[in-house]
Structure formats: C-alpha cells, structure tokens
Copies of this chain bind each other. A is one copy, B any other.
Amino acid sequence: MAKRPQSIDRLTAELARMPGIGRRTAERLAYYIQSLDNDGARKLVDAIREVKTKAKACSVCGNVSESDPCPICTDRSRDTSVVCVVERVRDLDVIEASGSYHGLYHVLGGHIAPLEGVYPENLTVAKLLKRAKGGPVKEVIIATNPDTEGDSTANFLVDKLAPLGVTVTVLARGVPAGGQIEHAAQSTLAGAIAGRRPVSAK
C-alpha cells in the first residue's frame, strides 16, 4: 500500500484537532485545501491570520472582538445592571441573535469539568465575581448549557454569587435538557430568557 504524502497527513492531523472534525472529514478537507488554487489557499491562510491578529477576548467580558472593551460592553444603550454568564462566545452570539436580551455578558470560557482538568481557576470565574461585587451589577443570569457540566457549573456559581448580594437567576428550562444552547431555536431562547427564575444558595 502506497503511503499518503506527509504534508497531507500533517494537515489532516491539524484539522482533526478541531472540535467535531473526525479523521475522515479532516482527510477530505486536507485534499480540498490541496486542490484550492493559490488564491483560494491564500484567502484561507489570510483569514486565519487575520482572526488571530485582529480578534481578541474583551478584557471585561471575554467576548471575541476587534476592539477592547467589546462593542457590547461599551454600548451605552444596554442595561449594565444585568450580566448574562455563558460558556462560549457562540452562546453569546445566539442569545444576541434572539433579540430578547439587552444587558451585558460574561464568557466563562467553558464549564467546570474536573475529569477534563477544567477547574474554576481555568475559567473567568474570579473576574465574574469581581464584576458582581460592587459596581452597577444587580442581577447575574446564568446561561450555561442545560447539561450535566453546565448545571454543575451553574450550581457552583450560584453558591459563589449569592453571598455577594446580587440576584442570581438561571434560564427557564425552556432549553431542551441535555442539549446545547448553540443549537436552540431563537424562540426557545426568547422563552427561556423571559421565564428565568431566581435561585438561592443551598
């Protein structure tokens, strides 16, 4: 059996690191990229470099933005008394797209998962507690994913936030349990935001 070119194998391996991209998909993409004309390949490389040089995490909320603070944090028309905590920037994107939320955000950078080596100190938890302590924040909406890790992250945050005197709410379980916020319909998200309920520490 003839061996594949090393460069194809190497690109396949790099692509297979990406979330949701299996080995076969990575192979197909590697051959696709090899088959691009030089202009197409240059555009792809330029887009990757541009995203790495221009887009950075907002130093306030963790949103990915080309300005710092991000346009949401600096938007004076938004309600600065509410902070919505999400795991990932794409969760923020879909909540924004639902048009039903006008406060600020806080991107955790994931969920607590000790088995995967992700502890609160690997997330932006300390920054969140600092934002919630004093300042204009009166309510923190916890919008972690409605799955096991998201729920235990939410429980952890409730215990940390409640003593700070802010109202802590969680999204109404209108989002289908076991699913991902990213894939929720806009109407589901709108309902979940409208039906959020207060919770207190155990």
Q: With the chains together, A173 CA to B36 CA distance in Å?
A: 32
Residue A115 interfacial (CB < 8 Å):
no
Given contacts A2-B71, A3-B71, A31-B89, 17 further A-B contacts (CB under 8 A): A1-B99, A5-B51, A5-B66, A7-B55, A8-B64, A10-B51, A14-B47, A17-B40, A18-B29, A24-B183, A28-B90, A30-B51, A31-B90, A33-B52, A34-B52, A34-B55, A45-B48
Q: List residues 114-140 of chain A with CB under 8 A from any CB of chain B.
A: none
Residue A172 interfacial (CB < 8 Å):
no
Quickly give the copy total for this chain: 2
A13 neighbours in B (Cβ, 8 Å): 47
- Contact: A50 with B10, CB < 8 Å? yes
A196 to B: closest C-beta gap in Å: 19
Residue A106 interfacial (CB < 8 Å):
no
Label chain A's interface by main secondary structure. helix
A55 neighbours in B (Cβ, 8 Å): 5, 7-8, 34
Interface size on A, residues (CB 8 A): 59
- The residue that A52 contacts in the complex, of B6, B18, B41, B65, with Cβ under 8 A, is B41
Sort A-B residue pairs by CB-CB distance and give the 4 closest, nearest first. Answer: A11-B47, A14-B47, A7-B54, A7-B51
Contact with B along A162-202 (1 / 0, CB 8 A): 00000000000000000000110000000000000000000
A17 neighbours in B (Cβ, 8 Å): 40
- The residue that A65 contacts in the complex, of B1, B5, B72, with Cβ under 8 A, is B5
A45 neighbours in B (Cβ, 8 Å): 45, 48-49
- Contact: A31 with B65, CB < 8 Å? no
Q: List residues 56-110 of chain A with CB under 8 A from any CB of chain B.
A: 64-66, 70-72, 75, 88-90, 93, 96-97, 99
Output the residue of A11, A29, A48, A90 with the most chain B CB within 10 A.
Answer: A48
